Structure 1
Amino acid sequence: MNIKYFLEKAAFCLLLFFGVLSSGRSATWEVDSLRKEIHNKWLNKGDFNSIILAEKKLIIKCKKLGYIPGEIKGYINIANALSGINRNKESLQFLDIARKKLTKLNDAGLEAQMNHVYGVNYFSLGLHKRALQRFNKALEVAKKISHEKEKQRIQYSVYDWKRSCFGFLGLVDSVYSNERKCMKSPMPMLYITIANRHFKNNNIDSAEYYINKANHLLLIKKIPVEGKANVLRAYGRLNIEKKEYNKSLQYLLESLAITHRAGLRKRTLETYKLLAILYKRLNNLQKENEYLAKYSRLNDSLRESEKVALNTSVEDILASQEEDFTANSKNFYYGFASIILVSTAIILIIDNVHKVRYKRQDKMLNEKKHETDILRRKLENLYEEVVQLAIKSDPSFIHKFREAYSDFYDNLTKENPALTANDILFCAYIKLNFSNKEIAEYAHLSIRTVESKKYRLKKKLGISSESDFNKWITKY
């Protein structure tokens, strides 16, 4: 009787155990399924804010279930969505939470995805070498992912971003190498980038061929709405080159509507610039100035956000260095204490190893601090593009000049409110130390007109006849 009672109790306990286990698995599966559904719905619509809100709710659910991988996945997904709408500071903060929680979990998929999103943020902030380090780490970790489809998805995405990094660094061979890898699973932006190269070489037919290939992808693959905006913008540029301005306007305004809704501010910035160029071709000065002003305001806003995020990135790098250094020191001293118990002779050997390691760590720390100093200086260095923009008569030249020479620009306009936009542009050329011949070439004027303009400006600014106008502007 007692044996029968015992067996019944044991069977009941086993059923209860497997019931709880099955319930837990069912709940985590439900979270994963819901997350996939959310991303398919909102990412395709370009609604990043809805993704963020939904992920925050899922994180709360994961915490209640004790589902740590699901919680970490939520932080990484939020960081990815935030980077998509250029909120890099917040994105890096969520990545930091994920990074700390991942130290207690061995999950190659999450670690690869986290490094990928770190790389995307660094790329967005212009830290291309730092981004490449993260992308390479993502590829290294991705090799351990057992699920082949997930592994390939991460790998192809990383190749695409590495291609862009190498493009900014001017490493053409590496660009082509990663392009070939991306061709196995292309996205519209791959073909648009190739089309842009053909635009630079004035190969309009080739550019159109690749834009059409990008558009074809929209029809055969599930591409997020950003892909559609990119294709529309590319068609807008194509039709500017073909002088079909009405078509171009239609494409650009459609692209602008999408990027506005999705909060894709950098893509919106690109469209503003193209619209300014389009209206310049149409001789519509009012509309040209309207979009130049929009470009300037948005560009200033993005620059400010990037400065804040760049500081966060620098702090994150320093904190990571300190953590690595502390962890290395702790591991070393634990080992050192253990060896003391073994023998005095081994202590002497380990002591010597310690000195070598310490010097190496100190050297690494100094190198990383030097890298950090370079990053900080990057915040103040906005001047390198100005001359090239002037040479190309780019509409955004005066806005970039204002960023690079803000004190000169602000003082000049404040003390001389009567100066026109053309006067300020002329002063900018002189500030860049352009000769009369160069100014004439870039401003599409005769040398005599340039000399006459200098004389009138000199009188307008109240500069004495004995003073050298160029020197006065240079020292101003």
Structure 2
Amino acid sequence: MKYFKYIFQHLTVVGFFFSSVLLFSQNLKYREYDSILLNKPKEMGKNNIPREKIILWNKEMLEKMKKENYARGIIWAHINIANQSWNLGNAEESIKNLNIAESILHKNESEIDFFTIAKLYQEYSQAYYIMKLYDTGLRYNSKAGYYGNKIEDKDRKEKFLSYVYTLRANHLYEKKDLDSALYYLKQSSLLYESLSTTSQIANHYIEYQPNQNSAKIYLDQGMHIISTKKHEPNSYQISVFYYYYAQYFFKEKNYEKAIVYLNQALQYNKKLKTVDHTKNIYKLLISCYKNAGNLEKEKEYLEYYIKLKDSLENSHTKGVELSIKTIEREKTEENKSFKKTIFIYSTLVVSLILVLLVYLYYQNNKKKKVILESKEIISRKEDETKVLERRISGVHEDLIQLAKNNDISFLEKFHEVYPNVSQKLLVINPDLTKDNLAFCALIWLGFSSKDIAEFTFMQHRSVQIKKSRLRKKLNLGSDVDLYQFLKSLVDN
């Protein structure tokens, strides 16, 4: 028996060891997936690998995550595809992937970290910015900020919130809220001094609140970031910076230098093909060549611009249609949820009202029953009282008659009917005689001195003397009315 017990314990320890090793191994594998999905697309972007290839790589990772049944990995693959899609001007594909990611998030919410949730909503905000749906974009940007503030890693949180504030500023610029936009850009810069934020502050002073000197200060800071490779800016960020520098020279009417920086912007954006950004570069190039008098180049880039603009508008239209469907679906779900909530609360209210009505009905019946019982008791007591009164009245009349007849049984009968009178008197003075008690009984019954004198065959003066002696025995003054005293003693 001990041998089998030992084997069982040994197998339990071995099983626990292998399950722990398996769980640790699985967690390690998932952490590797997280790192790859987060960092690999960035590395590919820095190496100027075309966005189409980055999308293909993420699609391969998506299939792998599905086989592993790893929810966070699936979400990140969709987020990465969405990011590359809106950069390529394919808003419809971006929204489609984000919708799938969000549905997976809702099914596995307890397993998903705040950074992943925040990143998902930030990509939504970016896609809606590209589609010019700024109010919706701001709503998702607020969600991204809410979850971004919950990120535990301080460096990651600050870097992410910097990105959130920069995108928020972009939305606010489109809504003509310039002061708020600049405020968020500077907040972003305080958290993380990136080339992207520095470039946009420079652009604020070039385009929105023109101040070439202030713009130059921030452009010089941007050149310093590029030369020192601070925070390792990627090709897209450098391309955007050169585009803003070109705008600066355009304002200075130095069109040749502006064209040089625009060509550098195109060169850095060439492989990544951020379509919306390319369109902006073409538009400024057209203006530069027009002002420089180069009509041939102006026409060339005008053709590029029109072709790209048509393609983007077509994509944005599809994206907007999909977004409207998404918003309608959300509204439908909200309405369903609202109706369900109303139904639940209505049911509760109706149930409470019914319970209250039943309770009130029960209490009312109970009250009626108590009232009826009380009335019966009162009626019964009244009947008993009347009988008692008649009985007492009859007995009282007998006593009166015995007193008038000076009957020797008067005192005994008085004790039977009014026992407390003599008891109270004896408490005051235990030495009271039967004659004293009989005299007190006559007074208690309301007989006057004249009546007592008549019934007892005494002189009126003798009755007064007897009263005086009784007062002394009861310790009463001459001013005390004996009848009132005796009645107050036992008012029966």
- TM-score range with shorter-chain normalisation? 0.5 to 0.7
**2:172 partner SS:** helix
2-structure distance, mates of 1:44, 1:168: 29
TM-aligned CA deviation for residue 280 of structure 1 = 2.0
2:202 counterpart letter in structure 1 = A
TM-aligned CA deviation for residue 30 of structure 1 = 2.1
Q: What does the per-residue CA deviation read over 1:445-476, in whole Å, with 9 as the maximum and x for residues that have no partner?
A: xxxxxxxxxxxxxxxxxxxxxxxxxxxxxxxx
1-structure distance, mates of 2:212, 2:159: 32
Whether 2:89 is the aligned partner of 1:86: answer: yes
TM-aligned CA deviation for residue 310 of structure 1 = 0.9
Match of 2:149 among 138, 143, 150: 143
Match of 1:14 among 6, 13, 16: 16
Match of 2:194 among 170, 176, 187: 187
Instruction: Tell me which residue corresponds to 2:242.
Output: 232
TM-score normalized with structure 2 length: 0.65
Instruction: Tell me which residue corresponds to 1:154.
Output: 160
2-structure distance, mates of 1:62, 1:331: 37
Instruction: Tell me which residue corresponds to 1:49.
Output: 52
TM-aligned CA deviation for residue 28 of structure 1 = 0.8
In structure 2, relative to structure 1, the CA distance for the partners of 1:38 and 1:335 (3 Å cut) is same
Gaps of 5+ in 2: 359-492
TM-aligned CA deviation for residue 24 of structure 1 = 1.0
2-structure distance, mates of 1:232, 1:304: 28
2-structure distance, mates of 1:203, 1:133: 31
Contact 2:118 2:145 in 1 (8 A): yes
Whether 2:218 is the aligned partner of 1:210: answer: yes
2-structure distance, mates of 1:134, 1:323: 18
Instruction: Tell me which residue corresponds to 2:403.
Output: none
Whether 2:256 is the aligned partner of 1:256: answer: no
Contact 1:339 1:347 in 2 (8 A): no
2:155 counterpart letter in structure 1 = K
In structure 2, relative to structure 1, the CA distance for the partners of 1:65 and 1:340 (3 Å cut) is farther
Match of 2:31 among 25, 29, 54: 29
Match of 2:174 among 139, 164, 168: 168
Instruction: Tell me which residue corresponds to 2:80.
Output: 77
2-structure distance, mates of 1:296, 1:84: 18
Task: After superposing the two structures, state which structure 1 stretch, 332-341 or 211-220, moved more.
Answer: 332-341
TM-aligned CA deviation for residue 59 of structure 1 = 2.1
Match of 1:282 among 292, 297, 316: 292
Task: After superposing the two structures, state which structure 1 stretch, 160-169 or 101-110, moved more.
Answer: 101-110
TM-aligned CA deviation for residue 33 of structure 1 = 2.6
In structure 2, relative to structure 1, the CA distance for the partners of 1:76 and 1:36 (3 Å cut) is closer
2-structure distance, mates of 1:191, 1:10: 61
In structure 2, relative to structure 1, the CA distance for the partners of 1:342 and 1:24 (3 Å cut) is farther
Whether 2:117 is the aligned partner of 1:114: answer: no
- What percent of counterpart residues are identical? 23
In structure 2, relative to structure 1, the CA distance for the partners of 1:90 and 1:346 (3 Å cut) is farther
**2:270 partner SS:** helix
In structure 2, relative to structure 1, the CA distance for the partners of 1:31 and 1:189 (3 Å cut) is closer
Match of 1:293 among 297, 300, 303: 303
Q: What does the per-residue CA deviation read over 1:210-261, in whole Å, with 9 as the maximum and x for residues that have no partner?
A: 2221222222121121111112223333344455554433322221123232
In structure 2, relative to structure 1, the CA distance for the partners of 1:332 and 1:145 (3 Å cut) is farther
In structure 2, relative to structure 1, the CA distance for the partners of 1:29 and 1:214 (3 Å cut) is same
TM-aligned CA deviation for residue 203 of structure 1 = 4.0
Q: What does the per-residue CA deviation read over 1:99-153, in whole Å, with 9 as the maximum and x for residues that have no partner?
A: 1111121333222211111111111111111111111122122233323333223
2-structure distance, mates of 1:241, 1:333: 62
1:199 counterpart letter in structure 2 = I
1:302 counterpart letter in structure 2 = L
In structure 2, relative to structure 1, the CA distance for the partners of 1:37 and 1:137 (3 Å cut) is closer
Whether 2:318 is the aligned partner of 1:308: answer: yes
In structure 2, relative to structure 1, the CA distance for the partners of 1:35 and 1:299 (3 Å cut) is same
Q: What does the per-residue CA deviation read over 1:28-48, in whole Å, with 9 as the maximum and x for residues that have no partner?
A: 122123223413311323543
1:28 counterpart letter in structure 2 = Y
Contact 2:182 2:201 in 1 (8 A): no
2-structure distance, mates of 1:215, 1:276: 25
TM-aligned CA deviation for residue 193 of structure 1 = 3.1
2:259 counterpart letter in structure 1 = L
Query: RMSD across aligned C-alpha pairs, in angstroms?
Result: 2.6
Alignment of 1:455-466 (within 5 A): none
TM-aligned CA deviation for residue 194 of structure 1 = 3.2
In structure 2, relative to structure 1, the CA distance for the partners of 1:62 and 1:347 (3 Å cut) is farther
2:215 counterpart letter in structure 1 = A
**2:293 partner SS:** coil
TM-score normalized with structure 1 length: 0.67
Match of 1:103 among 97, 106, 119: 106
2-structure distance, mates of 1:37, 1:76: 13
Counting matched residue pairs gives 348
Contact 1:195 1:206 in 2 (8 A): yes
Q: What does the per-residue CA deviation read over 1:310-353, in whole Å, with 9 as the maximum and x for residues that have no partner?
A: 111111100111112223333554566677777724799xxxxx
In structure 2, relative to structure 1, the CA distance for the partners of 1:222 and 1:199 (3 Å cut) is same
2-structure distance, mates of 1:87, 1:12: 54
**1:103 partner SS:** helix
Instruction: Tell me which residue corresponds to 2:481.
Output: none
Gaps of 5+ in 1: 349-476
Whether 2:327 is the aligned partner of 1:317: answer: yes
Contact 1:340 1:347 in 2 (8 A): no
1-structure distance, mates of 2:334, 2:131: 24
In structure 2, relative to structure 1, the CA distance for the partners of 1:17 and 1:190 (3 Å cut) is closer
2-structure distance, mates of 1:347, 1:109: 52
1-structure distance, mates of 2:299, 2:215: 28
In structure 2, relative to structure 1, the CA distance for the partners of 1:285 and 1:38 (3 Å cut) is same
